[in-house]
Amino acid sequence: MPIEQLLLTLRARWRVVVSVFALTTAAALIGSLLMPREYSATAEILADVDAPEPISGSYGPSYPQQTQMFMATLADVILSDRVVDKVITDMKLAEDKDALARWRKDTGGKLSAKEYFAQGLRKHLEVRPTRESSVVQLRYTAASPQFAAQAANSFVQGFIATQVELRSENAKSNVAFFDASTQKLRENLEKAETRLSHYQLENGILNAGERYDAELTRLNELANQLTLAQAQRFDTSARAQQSPSLQGTAPDVVQSPVIQRLRTELAHAEANLHDVSIRVGNNHPEHQRAVAQVRSLKRQIAAETKQVVRDVDAANQVNLEREKELHAEFDVQKAKVLAMTSKRDELNVLQKDVESAQRAYDVAKQRLSTNSLASQINHTNVTLLAEARPPSRHAKPKIRLNTVIGAFLGLLLGLASAVVWEYFEPRLRSPGQAAQVLGLLILGSMPQNRPPLTASLRTALRLT
């Protein structure tokens, strides 16, 4: 429909638009006035999600996602059966005759009173956690302002009590578990200590560390002495095994002071023999004395050389015996150290068993103490921020809003009614519309001369 024709239609049928608008607005106003009044009471609680635990000192959720999950869980707990049961008990709904009468009327006894009251309480409660703060609003809507405030406060108290119970019950169950575990771990610790003490008494171990270090030091000393004795024995054995033809050039023979002195005297005697041989004959007594002196010195050198060789052999035997003794002592000490090492390993195993049992016992005892303290805590990180008070004005129905909405809808319905009426009963409202509908050329038009409104009313009255 063209805009011009729409405007002419609305102008012609303005009574329809006004009538529908007035009826719809009046209906919305009357309906709002006839609707039952509902009152909303709001209580606010503060959930300190960043507060540390009073016992362990650990902090709550630190990430925004964890905080949102914590707040959502908080809302679920508020609407849980446990909290709702506390609200029913606190408000004594099961003893209220009017409430029981409504229950029988609405359910006919098919649903238990507890379930009926729980459904009604959840239906009228709105939990609104805020996104950027830790404040949670509990808004309860009821026909009575006093009942709405009482229900909202009962939900807050029931929720706080449930939080305390959940924390204490969890801690109490942990106390029972850790108490039994502590006793068992204590028995294990005592058994481990008994095994360790018995082993120490059986093996005569008082201070295993110092004794083992002393025996190990003794073993190292014997090893050094054995190495030195073996080196000395190798040296004397090599000197003793030289061939007799080389004994005169042996280091021990060459370095012997006696042999050196005798060899010097022999050299002088041989020189003297040579001089005597030049001056006198072989049968001359002086020559014979010189020969006898040379022979005597050679016999002395030979005897002294044999004596040095015998001394080397004796030293070799002494070194060999010393080596055997040190080797035997080293083997005995080595076996002793190995036995002590084995005992020390067994002792270390027993000591580690005692230390492990002690650590487990200490941890369990600490957890027992922590949970014992936690079971006695009667507060949580949830605090009542604002108590609900009976509202002075009703929250529903919202008469002004409903009237405005009714007026807006009435205006739309009035316009739509005028257009629909025009669709079913069309009229020629303008020369252009007549030319379009009849398909004829308009030669001219006469202006419409409407009588005044008072004249129209008089004419209508005369006709009646």
Q: How far is CA 67 from CA 49, 54, 77, 395, in A?
A: 7, 19, 15, 31
Q: Using the predicted structure, report yes or no on whether residue 298 has a pLDDT greater than 70.
A: yes
Supply the pLDDT for residue 384: 84
pLDDT of residue 454: 47
Contact assessment for residue 309 and residue 323, using Cβ atoms and an 8 Å cutoff: no
Q: How far is CA 297 from CA 282, 285, 291, in A?
A: 19, 18, 10
Q: Strand, helix or coil at 127?
A: strand
Number of Cβ within 10 Å of residue 163's Cβ equals 19
Average pLDDT (368-375) is 75
Predicted confidence band of residue 461 (pLDDT cuts 50, 70, 90): very low
Contacts of residue 98, defined as CB under 8 A and 6 or more positions apart, other chains included, come to none
Outline where DSSP puts E strands in 12-122: 39-47
Question: Which residues lie closer than 8 Å to 6 by C-beta, 6 or more apart?
Answer: 419
Q: Is residue 371 a contact partner of residue 175, using CB atoms and an 8 Å limit?
A: yes
Model confidence, pTM:
0.51
**Residue 367: band (very low, low, confident or very high) from pLDDT cuts 50, 70, 90:** confident
pLDDT per residue over 57-75, tens digit each? 454 554 456 667 777 888 8
Domain boundaries, the chain: 3-171+378-437, 208-373
| Stretch 115-141: mean pLDDT | 86
| Residue 243, pLDDT score | 39
Is residue 423 predicted with pLDDT exceeding 50?
yes
Question: What's residue 428's pLDDT?
Answer: 58
Q: What are the tens digits of pLDDT across the range 143-175?
A: 888 988 999 999 999 988 888 888 777 777 777
DSSP class per residue in 130-181: -SSSSEEEEEEEESSHHHHHHHHHHHHHHHHHHHHHHHHHHHHHHHHHHHHH
**Mean confidence (pLDDT) of the chain:** 77
pLDDT in tens, 1-56: 567 667 767 777 788 888 888 998 899 888 878 877 888 899 998 887 665 555 55
Residue 456 scores a pLDDT above 60: no
What strands, in cross-sheet order, belong to the sheet with 382-386?
Answer: 125-129, 135-142, 39-47, 382-386
Q: Name residues whose C-beta falls within 8 Å of residue 362's C-beta, 6 or more positions apart in sequence.
A: none
**pLDDT reading at 254 higher than 80:** no
Angle (CA) 102 105 110, round 5°: 110
Q: Which residues have C-beta within 8 Å of that of residue 307, sequence separation ≥ 6?
A: none
Residue 155 contacts residue 77 (beta carbons within 8 Å): no
State residue 154's pLDDT score.
92
Instruction: Find the range with the poorest average confidence among 191-195, 239-243, 360-364.
Output: 239-243
Residue 356, φ and ψ in degrees, nearest 5: -65, -45
